[in-house]
Structure 1
């Protein structure tokens, strides 16, 4: 199946306009057919040995979100102490999640034992199942953006909070907690780039030919 120029351009538009959304969520519910399209996109991610190690826990109850938010707040304060003194104030000023504001949370897990202990492609790099699950999240992120739905990845939270709150078995690896919902707007740039936390790297400095070479001072 050949991709048309218009379809190609639409894909690149989605990629370049994808954002990690923390603000501006509305309470408009996500229709079931839209959510199914997003999850189906995730389920069609590349997976090592076709093992499809992912599961998706959908979170809508306010009480459940509140427990996760408490875990985030504790981890946020813990994290702030790891930055230099001149960065701590700016870090604390950032809103880095939309746990309560987003109408839907999705916790994505990886079952490393799915389809047996020996999997094509994991014999040398066993972590490939985790990478596959991350690919599923990226598919979900792009599909959500194509549906004009914001998605934010909450990484500032300890796994044991999610494991206890969501009753996740010990044998499953927790990959990410995501916040999804319609938003009032999508920002032109990633927030941390816009705030001057870090600049976007120059792509030319990241491309190496034949062998890796040091290009930075």
Structure 2
């Protein structure tokens, strides 16, 4: 029988959602215990997916050797992004955009080669795969947060260069480097809000009005 949640349990879920943060600052330390990492990845693997295609793969890259190989890819894209930002370049460069060297665990999120799933994605095949993979990361984020661990999704890299480095099979592509582990503190607000880079828009601006058609 599926669980019926109490009001108190529902409040905990809502609080975890509200307190989830994309983390960039980590406390250096040992890798996570295997049982804890498996528990977190199991939460990711319980995510919904279109047509039950489960288009997520995780690769553990937590060794110092892997971190040293990956850091230049991220730094190259950080500098390229700064150059593209023009007048905001210096402001951007002051932001911390990754925690590759400090996090307890470093995972690659990989979208595997298309398995041909048609159910629910005939007209939006790539988009539905990406949405499904994103749902897995959101599960991982929330599972990490309730265990008081931070997670940061790093997307600053050349995807082709990273795919070559990871020796991904044909048709697979990297979607992110996930930094996971203990943090010195969780940001009071999302870091980009806290630093003044950008502010969250109110919910009412996200609600679109349907066209008025006469019956």
Aligned residue pairs, count = 209
Distance of 1:179 and 1:18 partners within structure 2: 14
Residue aligning to 1:37: 39
Q: How does 1:1-217 map to 2 (within 5 A)?
A: 1-85=3-87, 87-114=88-115, 117-127=116-126, 128-211=128-211
Distance of 1:118 and 1:174 partners within structure 2: 20
Distance of 2:33 and 2:143 partners within structure 1: 14
Deviation at 1:12, TM superposition (A): 0.9
Residues 51 and 117 of structure 2 are in contact (CA less than 8 Å); yes or no, is this contact kept in structure 1? Answer: no
**Structure 1's 118 and 12: CA in aligned 2 closer, same or farther, altered over 3 A?**
closer
Runs of 4+ in 1 over 6 A off after TM superposition: none
Residues 59 and 105 of structure 1 are in contact (CA less than 8 Å); yes or no, is this contact kept in structure 2? Answer: yes
Residues 113 and 170 of structure 2 are in contact (CA less than 8 Å); yes or no, is this contact kept in structure 1? Answer: no
Deviation at 1:49, TM superposition (A): 0.7
Deviation at 1:153, TM superposition (A): 0.7
Distance of 2:104 and 2:162 partners within structure 1: 18
Residues 109 and 176 of structure 1 are in contact (CA less than 8 Å); yes or no, is this contact kept in structure 2? Answer: yes
Residues 104 and 181 of structure 1 are in contact (CA less than 8 Å); yes or no, is this contact kept in structure 2? Answer: yes
Deviation at 1:118, TM superposition (A): 4.1
Deviation at 1:164, TM superposition (A): 2.4
Deviation at 1:97, TM superposition (A): 0.1
**Structure 1's 118 and 51: CA in aligned 2 closer, same or farther, altered over 3 A?**
closer
